[in-house]
Amino acid sequence: MKAIIRDIFKAVVNTWEKVLEVSWEHVSILEDAIYEQPADESRAPELWRNSAFWNRYEKLMFYHVDTMNDMRRYLGEFVDGMGDSGSDAGGSGAVGGAIGPAGVAEKGAWLEDLPADFDKLGNLIQEDLVKPTASLSELVSR
């Protein structure tokens, strides 16, 4: 089950990377066009649409991160529950390990590498899309 869930979220991360790469290429082309003719305001509507897309990206990323965190917590609880059901003492269970501050099983943690992947993607949205588009909007509106 751990491998399947990890593969699903890795597929989500890979899809995000592809989408962000295409989006970054679009911003790069737009930057070149605007820097060639900064006084041309015909690109302003495109910049507004792009900003709206980047906001949607951020919102969707938030939902994906929230879902990933829920899965980590629930799967950790599930593993702990499996360990508890086999124990007459009602201990913490050897299978899942202790629950950390985020409610995630620390020993044998589920999806432990995914938060870093999603943090990286969120940072890419900000640094490669949102900030350059905002700079271009300021340049065009001057």
Tokens of 133: 């588009």
CB atoms within 10 A of CB 43: 18
| Per-residue pLDDT tens digits of the chain, which is 142 residues long | 788 888 999 999 999 999 999 999 999 999 999 999 888 888 889 999 999 999 999 999 999 999 999 988 888 777 777 766 554 444 443 333 444 455 444 445 677 889 999 999 999 999 999 999 999 998 887 7
**Distance from C-alpha of 118 to C-alpha of 64, rounded to nearest angstrom:** 8
* Closest to 9 in 3D by CA, of 72, 100, 79: 72
Give how far Cα 49 sits from Cα of 10, 44, 74, 115, Å: 29, 9, 37, 29
**Number of domains present in the structure of the chain:** 1
* Closest to 16 in 3D by CA, of 133, 132, 114, 142: 114
- Tell me which residue range forms the domain holding 14: 2-141
**Distance from C-alpha of 99 to C-alpha of 63, rounded to nearest angstrom:** 23
User: What's the predicted TM-score (pTM) here?
Assistant: 0.75
